[in-house]
Amino acid sequence: MALPPLLPERTKPQHRFTPPSQCRHRATQKSFLDSELGRLILAFVYFTVICIGMAFCNQLSDHRWVETNYTNIMLSDRGFDVIPAQEDIGPANFFVMTSVVLTVAGIGLLCPDWTTRALVVRRVLWVIGSLSAVRSLTLSVTTLPTPKEGCTPSLKTGFWDMFIVALQMIPGTVEACTDDIFSGHTVFM
């Protein structure tokens, strides 16, 4: 007659990407945020909401700039004395997007497993989102005249019109005029 084991048989440890519906513990089933995937989704939602809010702050700063009649006053920028202002911001946008793609590819190659990759991406999203929140704050409280000659801001009003412009500002297809105090490109670098 075999004696029962003194300790209960150990169950196989749950992988961090196991869906909550397949987990054995009720506490984990109730909390999607206990999984690495849930935390990654939450970080992505945080990042997205903050970036859209930042684009709204850009537009509101442009509205204030036009409403205060500072459109004829140009900001003197000593950097433009040394390096002339660039007419096309396409190369800067390309450089930033390329660095983001290369960073994500590097994370994919250097991290040993999916859990570590998700952890690194999640932390990057939280950091960039938090930097974007600080940038939004500076755009909200400080409106500077633009150093860009001939800059015409998008002056849409209403939530949905501004939301569409915000979605166009994120990839850089629509440019803001008064976002000079804290560069969005710096946030992503």
pLDDT digits (tens, 9 = 90+) for 106-161: 887 888 888 888 888 888 899 989 998 998 888 888 777 777 777 777 788 888 88
Residue 43's pLDDT is 92
Extents of the domains making up the chain: 26-69+89-188
**Poorest-pLDDT segment among 46-60, 74-88, 133-147, 154-168:** 74-88
Report the pLDDT value the prediction gives residue 130, as an integer from 0 to 100: 93
103: nearest Cα among 46, 168, 188, 32: 188
pTM listed for this prediction: 0.68
In degrees, rounded to 5, the angle at the alpha carbon of residue 141 between the alpha carbons of residues 139 and 144 is: 65
